[in-house]
Amino acid sequence: MARRTLGERLLHFVLVPAIVVAVLLLGAFALRTTLQIEKARQQTVFDATLTLADERVDRLDKVIIAQDNVAMAHVDLSNLGSIARRWLPTAARETPTLRAILVLDLDGPDHDVLAFASRRAEGAPGREDDAFRRLLVTRLLPKLNREGDTEELRHLHTTVDRQSFLISYWQRVLDGRRRLIVAWHDVPRVVHDAMPRLYREVDRGASRMNVIDEDGRIVFGPPIKEGEFTVGRPFPTTLYNWRVQVALVTADELGHKVERQRTIEIGIVAFASLVAILGVFIVVTAAVKERRLAALKSDFVANVSHELKTPLSLVRMFGELLLEGRVADDAKRKQYLSIIVGESERLTALIENVLDFAKVERGKAAYAFDRGDVGDVVVRAVEVLRHRADREHVEVHLAVADGLPSARIDARALELAVINLVDNAIKYAKEGGRVDVTVEASGRHVRVRVSDRGPGIDEDEQERIFERFVRGKRAGAAQVRGSGIGLALVKHIADSHGGRVSVESPVTEDGKGTAFVLTLPALGPAAPEAAPPASPVA
């Protein structure tokens, strides 16, 4: 009752403030939207314009760099005469703005041009090409950036005698001599062919853009009217002395941006509301779960009390009979003493289970792992319960395979797990009268299988049967006593060993029987000496 009262208090003192906070958040977002709508509109204009400008400068840069990569692929320094033969057939399609490719000797005193492939109709360099070659060697070469990683692709954009030049260059080394590869881009062709093709949507109502040079003169596109919100962005890599100017002039575009911003904020408000609702659901679910767990714990206390009371009553009753000397027959006396011993063993096992489970619940369970023989552990566990099985007329058949691999185990904990499984099987095997325990190797694992011929476990309970305090419906119907912690303890031990435990039910053709399978990872053979083979146990 105290737990329920605490749960109800938490439900009120945690949930109510959480709802208040959620409502305050909703109000804050609504107020922010009302007060800052104009600021959001201006920010939307700026963000949209900046995005357009970035997209347009990147678009041209990517086209030019893609052509540079094509030119790079056609240059073979070991066979300079093949450059024109490989490049020119596809130049118009793959590199439309590229006019010529040159290779210079950087280590020579005059920086000789070793190769020159031109897109002139004749294929050989013409007068303009010769003029560019002289210009490159005398005036452009000193402007090239040859610091750092000189093999990376770089660009030079400059104006010489009122003429704009764009060259791409990269350096390579062949036979210890440095070579400079230059790709000469035809700037007028970039302006008159490439830009119109890339910017077809220019001045179609959504936006207005142009390209200006370093002196502010328009190179491409129409003038932008005064008063329009304009963002300018330089080309980042190629034509870096020029700038793209973009003005967003469509009111609809602005309205859509603002509407999208408003939609996002409405989504945030909806998300906050969902979190509030989800929080209520989680708190209520936790409270229900806590109550259910409290009920299970109450059942556990009742079951354990009954488990303790019954053997204690028997021990006391038969002990008093023996103490008062009311049993004259030696056979009867021996039988009573046997009952006392058996019930004491059952009490011991129950108390050990409860103590180990308490350690697990507190997170203080510790295991001492060492290389061990799973078969030996199972034999000891079965022998602990052999006397009880005989007393209850249950046959326990044990089969341990030869040559089992060793495993990293805590022998005491594993023995406790097997005892719990065999003890369960003996409880439910009274109807079938037989329990089978097998130990065998399965790949890189060792499997311990404990099966009975009892009533079995319903399929919908097979997942929950390993939870603490949970007992199957058929266990109650069969009036089999138990605490509901044995299988939870087995699962914890299996998980701690890096293994797993599973259940199979039914195991017989008539729909009865249950088999629990404990699987543990095996170790490799011990070095340097091998362990003696285990003897078969029947």
In the chain, how long is the greatest CA-to-CA distance? 136
Q: How confident is the model at residue 433 (pLDDT cuts 50, 70, 90)?
A: confident
CA distance 437 to 323: 40
DSSP alpha helix (H) spans, 118-210: 127-135, 187-189, 195-198
3-state helix, strand, coil in the chain (%, to 5): 50, 20, 30
In this structure, are residues 84 and 76 in contact, taking their beta carbons and an 8 Å threshold?
A: no
Q: Specify whether the CB–CB gap between 132 and 106 falls below 8 A.
A: no
Do 390 and 428 meet the contact criterion of CB atoms below 8 Å apart?
Answer: no
User: Using CA atoms, how far apart are residues 160 and 45, in angstroms rounded to an integer?
Assistant: 38
Per the model's pLDDT, the better-predicted residue between 516 and 412 turns out to be: 516
Helix (H, G, I), strand (E, B) or coil at 64: helix
pLDDT of residue 246: 86
Is a pLDDT exceeding 60 seen at residue 535?
no
Beta-carbon count within 10 A of 46 CB: 13
User: Which residues partner with 438 through β-bridges?
Assistant: 399, 449
Which CATH number is 36-249's, of 3.40.50, 1.25.40, 2.20.25, 3.30.450?
A: 3.30.450
For residue 423, give the nearest of 467, 485, 372, 474 by alpha carbon.
485
**169 in Cβ contact with 100 (< 8 Å):** no
Under the banding of pLDDT at 50, 70 and 90, the label for residue 199 is: confident
Please tell me the distance from the alpha carbon of residue 490 to that of residue 484, in angstroms, as a whole number. 11
What was the pLDDT predicted at 251? 46
Is 211:218 a contact under the CB 8 Å cutoff?
Answer: yes
* Cα–Cα distance list, 41 to 54, 250, 258, 268 (Å): 20, 13, 6, 18
Three-state secondary structure string covering 264-286: HHHHHHHHHHHHHHHHHHHHHHH
For residue 366, report the phi and psi dihedrals to the nearest 5 degrees: -125, 140
Indicate the pLDDT class of residue 354, thresholds 50, 70 and 90. Answer: low
Q: What are phi and psi of 191, to 5 degrees?
A: -70, -45
My answer on whether omega of the bond before 506 falls inside 30° of 0, hence cis, is yes
Q: How far apart are CA 468 and CA 227, in angstroms?
A: 74
Q: Do residues 276 and 451 make contact, with C-beta atoms less than 8 angstroms apart? A: no
Integer Cα distance of 185 and 484 in angstroms: 82
Q: Please name the helix (run of DSSP H) or strand (run of DSSP E) that holds residue 33, with its range, or none.
A: helix 2-35
Banded model confidence at residue 419, pLDDT cuts 50, 70, 90: confident
Question: Same CATH fold, 367-521 and 36-249?
Answer: no
pTM as predicted: 0.43
% pLDDT > 90, the chain: 29
Structure tokens given for 402: 């030869």
Over 80: is that where the pLDDT of 81 sits? yes
Q: How many CA atoms lie within 13 A of 238 on its CB side?
A: 24
Cα distance between residue 43 and residue 258, in whole Å: 9
Q: Could you tell me which CATH class the domain 367-521 is placed in?
A: alpha beta
Domain boundaries of the chain, sorted by first residue: 36-249, 367-521
State the average pLDDT over residues 193-220: 82
State percent of the chain over pLDDT 70. Answer: 72
Gyration radius (Cα) of the chain, Å: 43
Per-residue HEC secondary structure of 288-339 comes to HHHHHHHHHHHHHHHHHHHHHHHHHHHHHHHHHHHHCCCCCCHHHHHHHHHH
What is the pLDDT of the chain when averaged over all its residues?
79
In which element (H, E) is residue 423 found?
Answer: helix 411-428
Q: Which of 101-115, 224-238, 343-357 has the highest mean pLDDT?
A: 101-115
**How far, in Å, CA of 168 to CA of 186, rounded?**
11
Neighbours of 526 (CB within 10 A): 11
